[in-house]
Amino acid sequence: MSEFDSNPFADPVDVNPFQDASVTQATARAHPVSGEYNPFSSTEMGSHSGTTIPISEVSSQPAILQTSVEHSAKNTASVAQADLIKQQEELERKAAELDRKEKELQNRSTGRTNTGANENNWPPLPSFFPVKPCFDQNFEEDIPEEYRRICKRMYYLWMFHSATLFLNLLACLAYFTVDNQYGVDFGLSILWFILFTPVAFVCWYRPVYKAFRSDSSFSFFFFFFVFFFQVAVYIIQTVGIPRWGNSGWITAISMIRVNLAVAVVMMVVAGFFTVNAVLAVILLKMVHANYRRSASVSRALQEFSSGVLTNRTVQTAATAAATSAAQGSFGRS
């Protein structure tokens, strides 16, 4: 009951833990230190030696960092070596491609096959046909890319020209069946078809093909001279003068009162002649634009003179003429 009689509001008895016998004995053994500790005092400095550690002996970087630097240098060297190998392979590939293109240009300029002769492939006739091709024509190999389109258009114009002459023959035949007095037109239409189809191919299409193939000024001049007359012929055929063998607008209109069906056929052919004339003028301007950039009069004269002097036929004729003249002069003397 004594525990319940104590005053709970009274101050508790202070208990000092350091008054314990074990704690008092431990603190009594320690040496008291008065003042602050000075590491630079003479007493403390005397306990250390005067030697210092050189800076060079201390490693500036850890070992793991040196290993990573070595690996990065090796990787950079390997990448640079790989780039050099790729560049060398690219240069070798380009050199091989240039050699191939140079050989193709040489073969194109000579225009010869492995047998040493020109390979004629036009007109495309079957092998069993007794008549063999007379011309060599290959747009992809012979004509440069910048002139290939206009050269093909000239070829298409020649094909359209031939088809128009054939239709003109049929229209004049219908014209002749209506009235026998128009037999002259039918006969002339046959002559124009047989004559003007190959002549147009040889006289103005082949010269422009050769001009674009070899950049020949003389071929350009020859083409302009002949094609100018071809444009004039197209205009005459479009007009359709009677008794000239052309189914033009005049003859077609005059046939309306006689036979409407024949007149319609002749008007269609007159329209074809008109298209020929328009296309011829347009292509003439296009060829002239390309000619102005690549040809000249002096160059054409030089090509003509060199071609005449190196032609064996001309040389043989000149030799024969000189020999006959010399023999005549000696005979007179």
Answer whether residue 156 shows pLDDT above 60: yes
Answer whether residue 182 shows pLDDT above 90: no
- Are the C-beta atoms of residues 237 and 273 closer than 8 Å to each other? yes
Token pair, residue 314, equals: 């001309």
- If you average pLDDT over every residue of the chain, what do you get? 76
Q: How high is the pLDDT of residue 166?
A: 97
Token pair, residue 294, equals: 């690549």
Query: How many Å apart are CA 112 and CA 208, to the nearest integer?
Result: 20
Q: How high is the pLDDT of residue 264?
A: 94
Q: How high is the pLDDT of residue 325?
A: 57
Query: How many Å apart are CA 195 and CA 159, to the nearest integer?
Result: 14
- pLDDT tens digits, one per residue of 235-268: 999 999 989 999 999 999 999 998 999 999 999 9
User: Which among 247, 252, 160 is positioned nearest to 205, based on CA atoms?
Assistant: 160
152 contact partners, CB below 8 Å, separation of at least 6: 139
The predicted model gives 7-27 an average pLDDT of 56
- Are the C-beta atoms of residues 165 and 197 closer than 8 Å to each other? yes
- Are the C-beta atoms of residues 185 and 171 closer than 8 Å to each other? no
The predicted model gives 107-116 an average pLDDT of 51
Query: How many Å apart are CA 187 and CA 296, to the nearest integer?
Result: 43
CA 144 to chain centre: 10
- How many Cα neighbours within 13 Å face the side chain of 32? 3
Domain boundaries, the chain: 157-294
Pick the more confident residue, 131 or 196.
Answer: 196
Token pair, residue 247, equals: 């189914």
The predicted model gives 217-226 an average pLDDT of 91
Which of 90-99, 275-284, 288-297, 308-317 is most confident?
Answer: 275-284
- Are the C-beta atoms of residues 212 and 147 closer than 8 Å to each other? yes
Query: How many Å apart are CA 155 and CA 137, to the nearest integer?
Result: 11
